[in-house]
Structure 1
């Protein structure tokens, strides 16, 4: 059983998400409502597989809190969540060592898929956006992971999420997570646009 630390000062958000992760995914969930409580939990429970940390909870001081956490626990897998952070803040969090940035507006099933990917040591790069503007035309410049490039090739050939999941022995919700991530990185709004971009690229 994997153990999650969920640190968020909004009790309703914290309790709802903790309950979902425990009941739906079978995680053991530790909770904290401040940065100091998160530090205590990380010191007390040495087997935390992923720490999910609210960007604006008491004691975080924005990204300063992430810097302190990374300094104290450099090997701890950490995700930042927030409902208000800008794309620039999200991208900076990843630069500072967060594995991903999950907007609180993200569908919970996709968040769960992302958590499972991170625990399995598969990279994901969900963030609030890309602060560097429109990427270059070649797909190699979009930051797609190997798995995302594989799924994009299958998507471009017309396969459905269900078909892709069957071929790759993945859950359909995990494929949906990757497709959502791909659309965000390519800066397109639907699968058709992603397929057109993939088919016109020489670097896929």
Structure 2
């Protein structure tokens, strides 16, 4: 009887003990096979070129070269396999950088054994895989990036950025202070902030106030 095809995996992590643990765990599944290990990004790129794995299980922050840089290079080379990030870092910056570089999925190292197995199998099929907390962050980030302020909300926020009080803004725009407060409430909700200073900071970061 012909044995089923096993999913080939390259492990990329700068900690040998982590790689050893992952190898033992993954190969206990029966249909998963580790075909190589690398301790940094550049070594991973060369190893993947030699072994042509189905899945690259990639950490992000490594002394010898970052995972994001490696993912970017693997994407540029149009490798056959797919990259699944496995890391302890769950900041918006890390998540979006990895996904934008070309990672197919993003799991955290506190994932359960079966969740990791399922994630590797799904990644091998080219399916997106995200830890629940990561998925929540991605959705929130996408919503934030696609949120637009109305013209009036933008006017109010620009005046806030100039240090104007609600009363001064109301006089400038010929509206009531209550209307100004309503506009600011909507601005806070759209930008995900709770006060004037944070709203201005986020607006500048997203270039909502112009140059």
TM over 0.5: yes
Match in the other structure for 1:9? 14
Q: Structure 1 length normalisation: TM-score?
A: 0.57
Q: After TM superposition, list the pairs within 5 Å mapping 1:33-182 onto structure 2.
A: 33-46=39-52, 48-61=53-66, 63-126=68-131, 128=134, 129-130=136-137, 133=140
Contact 1:32/1:41, CA 8 A, preserved across alignment: yes
Cα 1:121–1:57 change in 2 (3 A) is: same
Distance (whole Å) between structure 1 residues aligned to residue 141 and residue 40 of structure 2:
36
Give the structure with the higher percent helix.
2
Cα 1:78–1:105 change in 2 (3 A) is: same
Report SS of the residue matched to 1:65.
helix
Bigger relative contact order (CA 8 A; separation at least 6): 1
Q: Structure 2 length normalisation: TM-score?
A: 0.56
Distance (whole Å) between structure 2 residues aligned to residue 52 and residue 131 of structure 1:
20
Unpaired segments of 5 or more residues in structure 1? Answer: 137-204
When Rg is computed on C-alpha atoms for both structures, the one with the higher figure is 2
Unpaired segments of 5 or more residues in structure 2? Answer: 1-5, 144-211
Distance (whole Å) between structure 2 residues aligned to residue 95 and residue 73 of structure 1:
15
> Aligned-residue CA RMSD in angstroms?
2.6
Report SS of the residue matched to 1:25.
coil
Report the CA distance between 1:74 and its aligned residue: 4.3
Report the CA distance between 1:108 and its aligned residue: 2.1
Report the CA distance between 1:135 and its aligned residue: 7.9
Aligned length: 136
